[in-house]
Amino acid sequence: MLNLKTTTEYKDKATWYEVTMVQEFTRTVVVLAIDEREASDIAENRSRRSRGMERLGYSLGDIEVIEAKEVEYQYRKKKDY
């Protein structure tokens, strides 16, 4: 594991700072749609509707769809979407 500094060594001299940053990540989801465009729209709308990120302190900004491709049906234990 990387040896990265995550706390200050000077706690007696330190003060609190609020830091705002942009973090990018990639997420792949499977949706039921009639074509790539609809699949992209559905996936983006679900991400925007989700409140999970908000509860963790995230504010959702830009969403860029990298690829939408047809795949074989995948059985899920949860409700099929």
Provide, rounded to the nearest whole percent, the portion of the chain with pLDDT above 90.
Answer: 20
Alpha helices in the chain (DSSP H): 36-49, 52-55
pLDDT(55) > 60: yes
CA nearest neighbour of 45 among 23, 66, 60: 60
pLDDT of residue 33: 94
**Can you say how many angstroms the Cα of residue 43 is from the centroid of all Cα atoms in its chain?**
11
Domain residue ranges in the chain: 34-66
> pLDDT digit string (tens) for 9-44?
999 999 988 888 877 878 888 999 999 999 999 998
pTM passes above 0.75: no
